[in-house]
Structure 1
Amino acid sequence: MKLLKASLIVLFSILLVSCSEKDDAPKNIEVQNFVWKGLNAYYLWQDLVPDLADRRFNNDNELYSYLSAYDDPANLFYSLLYMPNEYTKDPNRTYSWIVDDYIALEEAFAGIRLTSGMKLEGADYADGSGGYYIYVYDVVAGSNADAQGVTRGMIITEINGTTITRGNVNDLLDNDTFTIHLADYNGGNPVSNGTTITVTKSQVTENPIKVTNVITNGSHTIGYLMYNQFSRNFDGELNAEFAKFQSAGLTDLIIDLRYNGGGSVQTATYLGSMITGQFNNELFAKQVWNHKVMEVTNPDLLINNFTNQILNKDQQGNVVLDEAINSLNLNTIYFIVSDDSASASELVINALKPYIDVKLVGTQTYGKHVGSITLYDSDDYTRNGDNLKSHTWAMQPIVLEIQNVDGENAPEGFIPEVIIDEDPGNLGVLGDPAEPLLERTIQYITTGAKGVPTMKKGVQFSPSWNSNMMRPDYNNMYVELK
């Protein structure tokens, strides 16, 4: 989205000289200066953090003295966050983060990561003994785990010969190469079967379009799409899948977001427009920024409208994708969701609800209705702005709340009408009509039956653990500062 940066600079110069154009701070606190001024300008809860107040410092020297107390820019960054609103589910995590290598951050948004390829979830032993195991719920195509034969449904009780616990699981997986020890499920009380597989992390580009197919069931022609990240680098591929759905003459569509923690708001808008098509140019979602941004920004620049065209540009403003959207003009959509469905996934659900009938199958979604931007250390905080500093630090602070056309969102997440959870002992094959969650969604489509909630019992500890939590972009939703 495009902000009126010139107006912001005028406003900030009235409030405090330090908040206007970013002067050259002493080299030893250059990054700290960037951190404070970027958060002062854009952080959603800036007015609730005393040390980010516009009049906190009388001049730059006072600010520099304050910044000099922080040798590590990351410590400064996290000290300036408004924690009660930043993350209510886990006080040890935050929606905002900072990195010292923005290339890696940009690659993560593009689906490029250093990974073994295994996606894992943790569970307690069913017998209440306190034992703990992890299981593979997905494997990234083209990864080393894929090449070594790791498959969905494998149960892991040890790594490198060490028994897995809640406390050590992250450390055990934090190696470039490690050996997993497999076990038989045994009713949720895994028993080692002696099989081991050694996997090595590598740089992998994950296509977020995991599975697509068309399923015929009686008079229903049902499209199915498992979509795992809202990545603008794959907008063309996503649009191509909807062209296939158009040709198939679908009566119904299922979009599986159970593992989708979010991503680009623009891509979410494109997906909503592909599902529909009859609401072109009507409001898809609107953004609420901090009061300083709202006061100087044309409200029309803070909305995302349904569209019939994909128009993506790179950071230099060059068009990289320009094509008509393939829309299905549906009046009903079915989403498979879980507590791993967050941010941009919830945005699509929320934005479509006022317009069409949105049906949900699975478990309650995560509940995250705020979004971020990437701030770089340049005059206008963009990657291609003037005077981009030579360091590679960047920030990803929360800057906006997002709402649908009725001004609504769901901070606690969305509760499906059909409640069904995955069972580690019977995960099934993704995209197969017999996979339990897909099978139940097809039944919902063809019969309308909501049935009795089906939840896994005695296997999931609270708070839950998922290997995606180790990623810096976990459950992120972002817009682009242009």
Structure 2
Amino acid sequence: MKLKYVIKTLLLGLIFTACSKDSDSNETAITEPDEINNFVWKAMNSWYYWQPNVPDLSDSKIASTATYTKFINGKAPDALFYSLLYQRGTIDKFSWIENSNEIVHVSKIAEIEKKGGFSYGVYPKDASSVNMVALVNYVVPGSPAALAGLKRGDVITKINGSQLTSSNYDQLENAQLTLTIAASVQFINASLVTTDKGTTVTVTKTEIDENPVAYYEKKVYGSKNIGYLVYNGFKSDYNDELNATFAKMKSDGINELVLDLRYNGGGSLETAVALAQMINGNFTNKPYVYLDFNDKHNSNDGYENLSEKVRVFNLVDNEPTFQREESINSLALTKIYVLVSFQTASASELTVQCLKKYISVVTIGEETTGKFVGSNTLYDSPSSNYTSYADRSTKHKWQLQPITFSYYNKDKDANPSKIKPDYAINPYSAFLNLVEFGNVKDPSLKKALELITGQTMRTTGKNTETSLPSMDNLAAFNPTNTAKGLYIEDFKM
């Protein structure tokens, strides 16, 4: 590929529209394009993957300066950006814009973020999909959520005293939260019924650089040395920790691997390629993933190959900065078991789709998100075709995260709408059995261990499948993936 990337990412982020309104009250004649909006339009015209499908992004739009100026100056930057998306919410559910003066989702694949320190999924309580609950997937050690006593498997029913609903669950991203936790959870007539604890939990966001290598354990069943690895984000500033974990697995004699990507929304493409090499390692320099850009950037189309080296980054001024290369520690596995969920996306889906062209990949859990596109951060730096952070205008802090490419496995096979697991687990079973990582009561882990060992795992879990929403009718419940973004960051020429 002609274009080299310092950091390549595919990450699950959150879409937030800044609170601004269209400018329709300016009575003064406008003769020049607004500087910020000019950046928004021209960057999108150059890089947006679906640019040919959006009439308002046609090159002909700038044929008349007066017409172009009137068009782009008629909206606030965020409103203009979202008006340019191709079938927003259906085809393009992932592009977003950010003004770093506002409190919005950060756009880094390796950085310190301001957050509460807990991951969650949102579930309807019944088929009406109005009243909701949030299930805590995991809690970051030492985070405000951990210090407040929140734990994996907790069920959040209220936020700031109000019932969690389809209209207010986005408030779970607020800077300070008062959460009501369920004391008990039951399924009655396929509806989720909760009773609340008498006390509440308060969580205040703080700066966290979360280690995505969340949990590792060796489990031994006869001759099976099974590694169970929970990996929650492809973060390039933790490439060395991931590589060190595989070194530990090598020393532990791991010959089977359960890779838990249920809460992994993606991240660095470079890290995803390295992970594949760590799992097998026998296909060095072979093509792994193919990237396809729009017609204006066909020269950037091409393969990312498997490598025996991984680059290590540290954060400098909250930007990932290259430090050194390390030799990759490989397990030489020819089969792995991957736990997936409706929150598994982008680089995690890439891992399944691309790795299975080389080894056997068995998936267990739920249908994935279905995000086979990615993006890169665009800055107001026209001299570098909007890709340079260093050359950006310092007059404002707007930056774009539009979809700029799609990706495929090495054979360029068409991607599915979502990855369907080989062995389906009812997502609502987690409410009764979401125990700490490594506990075999976890239905997905239990299934993986049974497939590996050929044994039935006897547990005392509360998994009463007959009371759960039917797998055939889960579309009516539709658990909500609260993450809506997918991007490649730090495109560097």
Same fold (TM over 0.5): yes
CA contact (8 A) 1:362 1:420 kept: yes
Question: For residues 163-312 of structure 1, what are the structure 2 equivalents within 5 Å?
Answer: 163-171=163-171, 174=174, 176-187=176-187, 188-294=192-298, 297=299, 299=301, 302-311=302-311
2:352 matches 1:341: no
Partner of 1:20: none
Where does structure 2 lack aligned partners over 5 or more consecutive residues? 6-29, 457-463
CA contact (8 A) 1:343 1:370 kept: yes
Q: Deviations over 1:44-97 (max 9, x none)?
A: 111111111122221544432322212x101111111111xx5438xxx72111
Q: Deviations over 1:16-52 (max 9, x none)?
A: xxxxxxxxx9887111111111111111111111111
**Corresponding letter in the other structure for 1:323:** E
Q: CA deviation at 1:258?
A: 0.6
**Corresponding letter in the other structure for 1:141:** P
Q: CA deviation at 1:156?
A: 2.7
3-state SS of the aligned residue for 2:326? Answer: strand
Match of 1:445 among 452, 469, 472: 452
Q: 2: CA distance between counterparts of 1:479 and 1:365?
A: 23
Q: 1: CA distance between counterparts of 2:455 and 2:397?
A: 53
Query: Quick check: 247-256 or 456-465, which moved more?
Result: 456-465
2:127 matches 1:123: no
Q: CA deviation at 1:212?
A: 0.9
Partner of 1:478: 488
Q: CA deviation at 1:200?
A: 1.7
Q: CA deviation at 1:400?
A: 0.6
**Corresponding letter in the other structure for 2:133:** Y
Q: Deviations over 1:419-478 (max 9, x none)?
A: 1134202212112244221121011112299xxx97982397644225x43xxxx45242
**Corresponding letter in the other structure for 1:432:** N
Q: 2: CA distance between counterparts of 1:218 and 1:438?
A: 18
Q: 1: CA distance between counterparts of 2:284 and 2:455?
A: 29
**Corresponding letter in the other structure for 2:159:** I
Distance 1:120 1:318, change over 3 A: closer
Give TM-score scaled by structure 2 length: 0.82
Query: Quick check: 439-448 or 260-269, which moved more?
Result: 439-448
CA contact (8 A) 2:106 2:113 kept: no
2:364 matches 1:365: no
Q: 2: CA distance between counterparts of 1:275 and 1:263?
A: 18
Q: CA deviation at 1:317?
A: 10
Q: 2: CA distance between counterparts of 1:201 and 1:478?
A: 26
Q: 2: CA distance between counterparts of 1:481 and 1:455?
A: 50
Where does structure 1 lack aligned partners over 5 or more consecutive residues? 6-24
Q: 1: CA distance between counterparts of 2:100 and 2:423?
A: 42
Q: CA deviation at 1:377?
A: 0.9
Q: 2: CA distance between counterparts of 1:386 and 1:405?
A: 34
3-state SS of the aligned residue for 1:376? Answer: coil
**Corresponding letter in the other structure for 1:122:** V
Q: CA deviation at 1:166?
A: 2.5
Greater relative contact order (Cα < 8 A, sep 6+): 2
Q: 2: CA distance between counterparts of 1:416 and 1:152?
A: 23
Distance 1:281 1:66, change over 3 A: same
Query: Quick check: 32-41 or 417-426, which moved more?
Result: 417-426
Distance 1:128 1:49, change over 3 A: closer
Q: 1: CA distance between counterparts of 2:410 and 2:231?
A: 24
Q: Deviations over 1:173-224 (max 9, x none)?
A: 6352424243311343112232322222222221111111111111100111
Distance 1:448 1:34, change over 3 A: farther
3-state SS of the aligned residue for 1:458? Answer: coil
Distance 1:479 1:279, change over 3 A: farther
**Aligned residue pairs: how many?**
445
3-state SS of the aligned residue for 2:60? Answer: coil
CA contact (8 A) 2:346 2:374 kept: yes
Partner of 1:138: 138
Partner of 2:35: 30
2:58 matches 1:53: yes
**Corresponding letter in the other structure for 1:94:** K
Question: For residues 12-161 of structure 1, what are the structure 2 equivalents within 5 Å?
Answer: 29-70=34-75, 72-83=76-87, 87-88=89-90, 94-101=93-100, 108-110=108-110, 112-125=112-125, 132-161=132-161
Partner of 2:335: 332
Partner of 2:27: none
Q: 2: CA distance between counterparts of 1:281 and 1:383?
A: 29
